[in-house]
Structure 1
Amino acid sequence: MSLNVSDRSFITARIRATQSQLDVRRSSGAAVSQMLHDSNDLEPGELPVKRRGDHDLNQMGMRPKPPLTPAAVLVPLLDHGDQITVLLTERAADLRAHAGQISFPGGRIDPGDASPEAAALREANEEIGLPLASVELVGRLDTYEVRTGFEITPVVGFVDPVFKLIRAPGEVADVFEVPLAFVLDPANHERQSKVLQGKRRYFYVLPFEDRYIWGATAGMLVNLYEVLTGQTAYWR
């Protein structure tokens, strides 16, 4: 599929159309449960309705057990005119969880958050100083489950690239951008593995310059690739 990766209107329309398709299916009542696990009846070009996660590349039984803690992240797209980039953060090295890893701004959904979108925007404001007025929300990607017990809603939004960046001390070590063209090139998608608790676990990796983007963040970027290109990731 030929895609102009600087075409903001196409990207917006593609994500919104995909979310509308998924929303219609999720409202079908008793059929939802089966749809989440069975995509055999999909029409050509349609994306499966399912919860993504670490289990996508692994054997059965590696799916996290419920109940899962709701969380949300913002997938920030910055339109620089000549190219669109994805903004990512590097977590501080002394955090208790996922220290030093590459992630999207986000966190658990608090009781006071009206929606995953509200939680993602609140966390982005707290972590990198992103004003709510600087974000145009576009839609959601698939819910992503992680083995640490969270179910994450990725919320995509276009961000004004001139906003004043304010990193949260002790939480965010760095902020950087990756060209969307890099994310949409499947040659940059790798599958790697490591042994955890006696089991070999496979995961996506998108190595970018000196950054090691892996795990849930890489998985959500691969989902973004699938939504925008209409292609299925090689290893799924």
Structure 2
Amino acid sequence: MVTRQPPTWLDPLLTRLGSARTEDFTRLPTPQRGGRESAVLVLLGEAHGAGPDVLILQRAATLRNHAGQPAFPGGAADPEDADAPATALREANEEVDLDPATVTVLAELPKLWIPVSDFVVTPVLGWWHAPHPVHPREPAEVAHVARLPITELVDPENRLRVRHPSGWIGPAFSARGMLVWGFTAGVLSALLDMGGWARPWRPDRVLDLPPVGASPAPSAGTDEADESALR
């Protein structure tokens, strides 16, 4: 029997998100006007016996922008999209063949601005109440899809920060052969803290990010080095 009711382990996160502000995710204020509206799907599920996880895709290495970078499913809003959840679910279907009917939308996070691309992104939190196999629908755009366990993301051995050649520095996760960084890692880092799942880790562990396929866009959860790189 499929239940749409989210599990109790999500309760602390949902309670905290009730008072979430943009400042909880980034020091960069979201402009009141302008910016291209977009949305991403932060899809939390639970595999049998493996605990909670989050769906992450890896973009194809041949893309002009964000080549090879792990990300949440999502993209720019279309005129026919009713709202941010509609955009996030549509994009997830187009990218990894996710059935929108298997997702219960739980919350919309504050809008976050990515200055370099001028996207105003609404992260949409979803509960995957009926998980099913997913795969890249367009291999030229999406190379890989994975469900990354929360236990692996919060493992201190899998947490670090990365330094982009531009001088940008931000949080990152190493899990299942993926190096998750940038906007996606920033949002994940904030949510893990809010949900009470984060464990102490060493933020002084900094890895230089290879320039090939890297994007200079700042992540959510920026620190002083992130902002100084934008001035």
Q: TM-score category by the smaller chain?
A: 0.7 to 0.9
CA RMSD after TM alignment: 2.8
Judged with a 3 Å threshold, the aligned counterparts in structure 2 of structure 1 residues 15 and 64 are, in CA distance, closer, same or farther, namely closer
Q: Secondary structure at the match of 1:195?
A: coil
Compute the displacement of 1:156 (Å).
Answer: 1.4
Q: Distance in 2 between matches of 1:107 and 1:81?
A: 30
Q: Secondary structure at the match of 1:163?
A: coil
Deviates more, 1:155-164 or 1:72-81: 155-164
Aligned to 1:216: 183
Aligned to 2:172: 205
Answering whether residue 43 of structure 2 is matched by residue 76 of structure 1, we say: yes
Aligned to 2:70: 102
Deviation string 1:189-216 (CA, Å, 9 cap, x unpaired) is 32221232xxx21111112242111101
Compute the displacement of 1:159 (Å).
Answer: 1.6
Answering whether residue 125 of structure 2 is matched by residue 156 of structure 1, we say: yes
Structure number having the greater helix percentage: 1
Q: Distance in 2 between matches of 1:232 and 1:50?
A: 21
Q: Distance in 2 between matches of 1:115 and 1:91?
A: 24
* Identity score, percent: 30
Aligned to 1:116: 84
Aligned to 2:154: 184
**Correspondences of 1:20-169 after superposition (within 5 Å):** 20-22=18-20, 49-50=22-23, 52-53=25-26, 56=27, 67-82=34-49, 83-146=51-114, 147-160=116-129, 162-169=131-138
Q: Secondary structure at the match of 1:220?
A: helix
Task: Specify every segment of 5 or more residues in structure 1 that has no aligned partner in the other structure, as ranges.
Answer: 1-7, 23-47, 57-61
Instruction: Confirm or deny: 8 A CA contact 1:85 1:177 kept in the other structure.
Output: yes
Q: Distance in 2 between matches of 1:149 and 1:9?
A: 36
Compute the displacement of 1:162 (Å).
Answer: 4.1
Deviation string 1:147-203 (CA, Å, 9 cap, x unpaired) is 32112111111224642424222221111121112233455332221232xxx2111
Q: Counterpart amino acid of 1:183? A: L
Equivalent residues, number: 194
Judged with a 3 Å threshold, the aligned counterparts in structure 2 of structure 1 residues 107 and 10 are, in CA distance, closer, same or farther, namely same
Q: Distance in 1 between matches of 2:196 and 2:25?
A: 18
Q: Counterpart amino acid of 1:21? A: S
| Aligned partner (choices 139, 144, 147) of residue 174 of structure 1 | 144
Instruction: Confirm or deny: 8 A CA contact 1:226 1:233 kept in the other structure.
Output: no
Instruction: Confirm or deny: 8 A CA contact 1:79 1:161 kept in the other structure.
Output: no
Task: Specify every segment of 5 or more residues in structure 2 that has no aligned partner in the other structure, as ranges.
Answer: 1-5, 204-222, 224-231
Q: Distance in 2 between matches of 1:185 and 1:144?
A: 26
Instruction: Confirm or deny: 8 A CA contact 1:191 1:202 kept in the other structure.
Output: yes
Compute the displacement of 1:233 (Å).
Answer: 9.0
| Aligned partner (choices 164, 176, 179) of residue 194 of structure 1 | 164
